[in-house]
Amino acid sequence: MTRHTASLVITGHDLDFRAMAKAAAGSLPVSVAASAFTAIAASRAIVETILKENRPAYGITTGVGSQKDFAVDPATAAQYNARLVAAHATRVPGPTLPAEAVRGALIFLANQFANGLSGVSPELVELIATAINGTEMPEIDGSGSVGASDLVPNAQLAHWLLNRPEARKLGLPKPKETLSLINNNAVSLAQGAIALASAERLLAAFDLAAAAALEGFRGNLGAISEAANRAHKREGQRRSALRLRNLLGDSRLWREGEARLLQDPLSFRCVSQVHGASAEVFAETARIWNSELSSVNDNPIIDQETAGAVSNGNMDTTRLTLAADHLRQALGKICDLAGERVHKQQWPAFTGLPTGLAEEGGAIGGVQFLNLGHITASLVTSVKIWARPSLLNSVGQVADGVEDTASHALHAVHDLMRVVDAGWKIAGLELMIALWAMKRRRLRKADLGRGIRPAMEILGEMLPIGREGDAIFDIAPLIAELQSGPLLDRALTEAGERIDLVLT
């Protein structure tokens, strides 16, 4: 892993999605604040008292789920906990989690336990911190959750953790610890945080692509004017239009007579409205995710006031699923408009350019470019499928009817990841086609908006203009450049913008 001077210090109270994503990628070393161990030790002492007194307490002196009425003898509680984790860690054929998601789940566990409400031992938290900073992550199945704790993937992670040599030396797991490790939404929260970090950049990439589309289309910029914003009290629209204007700063398109049409198609005219609404949804989703990252969804929790264990339903993921559902729909709408602009930019009746942006008089110049429209349409279709809400899908009753409701957070997050991945490709395709149109119009770099110039400089040279059909065109390097290269940061910086400047 790459190490930097900055670090993530876990306190249990202030973890946010950006820090989670960076640390999960191995870009930040992670430690647990010394002050957190006081609270951890205090709650562990209560668990030990419950065990000593053999008081009925869910998951401590009893079984779990449908076995809640089964009494666990304190003398054999350690063995029970070891068997419990293996019993829940059934392997499932199919996709496995990327290493960053696994590390992110460990980060969440450390942060949750740092609250001092789970009753785990300080030794377990130290073990987790060591594992986070390691270079190897286990292979964990990406399924097995209905959104009321990520039981199966969590159990596989716990089994790996508790079978490390250090765990055996420390006598782990202790009673209650297995339940705390598996009865939470660590995987959903970690993958969601990683998806949000990518989605934040994606929203900026869509702004860049839309600004480039206006440039290449010779769109009417009145639609993103401050005069249009004053007519409506939409904060997201105001901020989105400002970013678009900044990206197009110093463009020749601002001159009178440059716009081709008095009124553009809605996919161009409504960019700031749609992007602005989506920015507002993103901001709310990020707020919810940050709140959940620093919350405790363990059951039972250890209450200091009563020195007892409190059974609860804090593992419910309705809030998370609603947020992820809403964001997927917002991104789906952005993708839909981008797809429409892709087609309009290749449509002679709207552009005044040859079909498919072919060279004038060229016999095959536009063939491959029309193919990019088909690829975009396919991706937009996939996004619309994945954007359908997950929350109200029925799962029936599990665990002998004890678990009779589910919220599908892991499914919602997996679909969010799919939408974000497809979104990067759609934004890249729109940007490519816009640059192609600019070249067909013989626009000079100096004629373009400040934020568009880096895109022309970097991506413009990667397009096979004049070489269409000579070889297969691989768009992967262009998408990778947009997603992970310096292009997006340069474009926003030259426009006086920041990626995280959503509504501020």
Which of 175-179, 387-391, 403-407 shows the lowest mean pLDDT across its residues?
A: 403-407
pLDDT band at 502 (very low <50, low <70, confident <90, very high): low
Q: Which of 133, 152, 184 represents a domain boundary (last residue)? A: 184
Q: Which of 127, 153, 184 represents a domain boundary (last residue)? A: 184
pLDDT, tens digit (0-9, with 9 covering 90-100), for 448-491: 999 999 999 999 999 988 888 788 899 999 999 999 989 999 99
Report residue 421 as tokens.
Answer: 């991945």
Report residue 304 as tokens.
Answer: 């200091």
Q: Which of 292, 259, 239 is nearest to 112 (CA)?
A: 292
The answer on pLDDT for 65 being more than 80 is no
Q: Which of 81, 80, 73, 79 is nearest to 51 (CA)?
A: 73
The answer on pLDDT for 1 being more than 50 is no
Domain-embedded: residue 234: yes
> In the prediction, which pLDDT does 442 show?
94
Domain-embedded: residue 3: no
Same domain as 378, residue 272: yes
List the domain range (segments joined by +) for residue 161: 8-184
Same domain as 210, residue 124: no
Overall size of the chain counted in residues:
504
Domain-embedded: residue 204: yes
Same domain as 218, residue 148: no
Domain-embedded: residue 354: yes
> In the prediction, which pLDDT does 360 show?
63
Same domain as 165, residue 36: yes
Same domain as 271, residue 127: no
Give the CATH number of the domain where residue 453 resides: 1.20.200.10
> In the prediction, which pLDDT does 399 show?
65
pLDDT, tens digit (0-9, with 9 covering 90-100), for 358-370: 776 554 544 455 5
pLDDT band at 311 (very low <50, low <70, confident <90, very high): very high
Question: Could you give the angle at the alpha carbon of 43 between the alpha carbons of 40 and 49, nearest 5°?
Answer: 140
Handedness of CA 262, 270, 265, 267 (dihedral sign): positive
Cα separations (Å) of 467 from 146, 200, 366, 463, 470? 50, 35, 11, 9, 6
DSSP conformation letters of 127-145: HHHHHHTSS-----BS---
Q: Is there a contact between 32 and 111 (Cβ–Cβ < 8 Å)?
A: no
Q: What is the mean predicted confidence (pLDDT) over 294-319?
A: 94
Cα separations (Å) of 468 from 225, 234, 430, 459? 37, 43, 18, 16
Q: Is there a contact between 29 and 130 (Cβ–Cβ < 8 Å)?
A: no
Longest dimension (CA), the chain: 90
> In the prediction, which pLDDT does 66 show?
60
pLDDT band at 401 (very low <50, low <70, confident <90, very high): low
Which of 52-66, 140-154, 224-238, 376-390 shows the lowest mean pLDDT across its residues?
A: 52-66
Same domain as 254, residue 174: no
Domain-embedded: residue 468: yes
Q: Which of 149, 184, 219 represents a domain boundary (last residue)? A: 184
Same domain as 79, residue 138: yes
Domain-embedded: residue 377: yes
Average pLDDT of the chain to the nearest whole number: 92
Same domain as 211, residue 133: no
pLDDT, tens digit (0-9, with 9 covering 90-100), for 213-270: 999 999 999 999 999 888 988 999 999 999 999 999 999 999 999 999 999 999 999 9
> In the prediction, which pLDDT does 4 show?
45
pLDDT band at 10 (very low <50, low <70, confident <90, very high): very high
Residue indicated by tokens 């599990």: 398
Same domain as 215, residue 298: yes
Same domain as 319, residue 176: no
Q: Which of 316, 322, 224, 311 is nearest to 276 (CA)?
A: 224
- Element (DSSP H or E) covering residue 303: strand 301-303
Structural domains of the chain, count:
2
Cα 344 to Cα 162: distance, rounded to the nearest angstrom: 57
Domain-embedded: residue 501: no
Give the CATH number of the domain where residue 152 resides: 1.10.275.10
Q: What percent of the chain has pLDDT over 90?
A: 79
> In the prediction, which pLDDT does 125 show?
98
Same domain as 168, residue 279: no
Same domain as 228, residue 175: no
Domain-embedded: residue 175: yes
Cα 40 to Cα 54: distance, rounded to the nearest angstrom: 21
Q: Is there a contact between 251 and 448 (Cβ–Cβ < 8 Å)?
A: yes
